[in-house]
Amino acid sequence: MTTQTTTSSATTRTVDLPGGLPVTLAEYGVNTEGQGVLLLHGGAGPRSMAGLATILSEHVYALVPTHPGFDGTERPEATDSVADLAVAYLDLLDALDLTGVMVVGNSFGGWIASEMALRDTRGRIGCLVLLNATGIEGQEGAKVLDPRTLAPAEITQLSFHNPAFRPDFSTFTDQQRAGMAANQKTQALYGGEAFTHDVKLRGRLHRVGVPVLVVWGEQDGIAPVEYGRAYADAFPQGHFAPIAEAGHFPHIEQAGPTMGAISRFVDTVMKPDEAA
């Protein structure tokens, strides 16, 4: 473990995982009970999960890793697939000795979370929360758009229901633009040829033995709500929670309703005896 820094809400450090893979990790709160919430970002980067992590840290230890290669972090050449990231984050849970973990994944991060659940041979994961996740192959009328075919302004217009949340790219510096381009290149590497999905993933999800909450912004122009319902239906213990007036990032546009859906899931599915 190396290089620790602290901000007003999070402590950031680098954790060296088996095989020498370094992972930059932002920690919100303190790991005192051996449990926590792992939040996995999509192409928008780790900052897109910071707000939700801050809210969750009022109740539980929350951690947000930066996928290797994003935001200028190191990515070893051998780490080049979603499966590699899934195994890396299971190794991270081992290193931190966390159990009963809620893994929350947005967009591409939800794909990683699903792959983690399929590989969790040590029972580290307690449940999944997928926020407008990608990963499964969409059927006719319920497919994910390939953002590689769209201009950045088009992506943000389709991703956010409320224009106030859409980034103004005209204000970005050259450094910010270069960072975005580098992140997109890294995501493309992890996503592979199909980029948004694994054609075999849907058929494997019946093997996931933990409860899964699929939260979906109903106005998502990237991944339609029908795709989200199909994702939830692919899990034996899948639950679906639509969020009105939200796009691809419901935890940003509608943080309150999103947290409400997660809380109800915990109370009614994960801890029904305590709720009673």
pLDDT reading at 244 higher than 80 = yes
pLDDT at 33: 87
* Nearby residues of 67 by Cβ (< 8 Å), 6 or more positions away: 40, 41, 73, 85, 112, 186, 190
Torsion of CA 22, 28, 31, 35, to 10 degrees: -90
Fold of 2-271: Rossmann fold (3.40.50)
* Tokens matching residue 220: 């998502």
More confident residue, 141 or 71: 71
Report the chain's terminal Cα–Cα distance, integer Å.
42
The mean pLDDT value of the chain amounts to 94
Nearest to 131 by CA among 37, 46, 213, 226: 213
The tens digit of pLDDT for each residue in 219-239 reads 999 999 999 999 999 999 999
Q: How far apart are CA 40 and CA 85, in angstroms?
A: 10
Using CA atoms, how far residue 101 sits from 9, 69, 87, 138, in Å, is 21, 25, 15, 28
Average pLDDT over residues 119-130: 98
pLDDT at 21 over 50: yes
For the CA atoms of 103, 109, 110, 116, the dihedral, rounded to the nearest 10 degrees, stands at -60
Rg of the chain over Cα atoms, rounded to whole angstroms, equals 17
Q: If 0-12 CB within 10 Å is exposed, 13-18 middle and 19+ buried, where does residue 220 land?
A: buried
- 133-180 pLDDT tens trace: 999 999 887 899 999 889 888 999 999 999 999 999 889 999 999 999
Q: What pLDDT does residue 6 have?
A: 46
Q: Confidence band (pLDDT; 50, 70, 90) for 8?
A: low
| Residues, the chain | 276
Q: Where are the domains positioned within the chain?
A: 2-271
**Could you give the CA distance from residue 269 to residue 14 in angstroms, rounded to a whole number?**
34
pTM attached to this predicted model: 0.95
Cα(232)–Cα(33) distance, rounded to whole angstroms? 30
Higher pLDDT, 142 or 190: 190
Say if residue 2's pLDDT is above 50.
no
Mean pLDDT for 13-31 is 94
Can you point out the beta strands (E) in 156-243?
212-217, 238-243
C-alpha–C-alpha distance, residues 236 and 208, integer Å: 7
Tokens matching residue 189:
């590497």
Question: Three-state SS for 101?
Answer: strand
- Give φ, ψ of 94 to 5 degrees: -65, -45
